[in-house]
Amino acid sequence: MLTISAQCWLCRMPLALISHGMCSRCTSALLSERPCCPRCALPALSGRQACGRCLQKMPPWSSLLAAGAYLPPLSTFVQQFKFNHTPALAKPLARLMLLRALAARRAGLIRYPDVLVSVPLHRGRQWRRGFNQSALLAESLAHWLPCTHHPGQLIRTQPARIQHRLNARQRARNLKNAFRLEFPVEGCHIAIVDDIVTTGSTVSEIARVLKQGGAASLQVWCLCRTL
């Protein structure tokens, strides 16, 4: 099992702050990837304008931030975090999301949300895993940023069926009415927090529920974007 060591995850240099997981040089290399579309976080010519795909069909959120692409080395740590029961990785991974959000705000691409809504797991899955990875990420982010996070604001009422064998339309149908809002969101600026965004069908369904509840604006913040 991977534990937090006193060395940088990537280059093995000693760390000044063990809780960071990565040295400053590796962190900036990871965060200075090629430009991504601000709406879908997929590689694009400009980091400021929506890509052609998004212009054709605008996503239901104003921006999608991803700490990085779902590729090694980041994907390896995300798998360790999620599947190998290593919740101790939540903080260093959330820090990458924080740095991405700070940079986007400095560039005028986003505003800070009032509320972070983490993607819920169905209670059976959470019981088996022992933790909800998205809630742990949101908890750290809410600690550092001027916004709130309360797990339980959004409930998953149906267990997730295996999504990866379904096409986009089947995924959307599979998720319909899978979430129930447990708090008032009218007028709130919200960021949905997820670990990995693949097709975006889960966050789209949550966005639909939050919009229906009267959310003023929506963003998606994730650790990794699948290319």
Residue ranges that bind Zn ion, judged by CB under 5 A = 8, 10-11, 23, 26, 37, 39-40, 51, 54
Question: Measured from the CB of residue 214, what is the shortest distance to Zn ion in angstroms?
Answer: 26
Which is nearest to 214 in space by CA: 173, 192, 184? 184
> What is the closest distance, in whole angstroms, from the C-beta atom of residue 95 to Zn ion in the complex?
14
Q: Is the CB of 121 or the CB of 220 nearer to Zn ion?
A: 220
DSSP conformational letter for 20: G
Nearer to Zn ion, 40 or 136 (CB): 40
**Spatial separation of the C-alpha atoms in residues 45 and 9, rounded to whole Å:** 30
Cis peptide before 73 (omega within 30 of 0): yes
- Nearest approach, Cβ of residue 215 and Zn ion (Å): 21
Q: Which is nearer to Zn ion, 23 or 138 (CB)?
A: 23
Closest alpha carbon to 111 in 20, 189, 211? 189
Q: Are 112 and 146 in contact (CB under 8 A)?
A: yes
Nearer to Zn ion, 25 or 161 (CB): 25
Determine the straight-line distance between the first and last CA of the chain, rounded to whole angstroms.
27
Torsion of Cα atoms, 55 then 61 then 67 then 71, to 10°: -60
CB of 63 closer than 8 Å to CB of 207: no
Query: How far apart (Å, rounded) are the C-alpha atoms in residues 217 and 180?
Result: 19
Q: How far is the CB of 114 from Zn ion (least distance, A)?
A: 25
Q: Minimum CB separation from Zn ion for residue 53, in Å? A: 5
Question: By C-beta, is 48 or 173 nearer to Zn ion?
Answer: 48
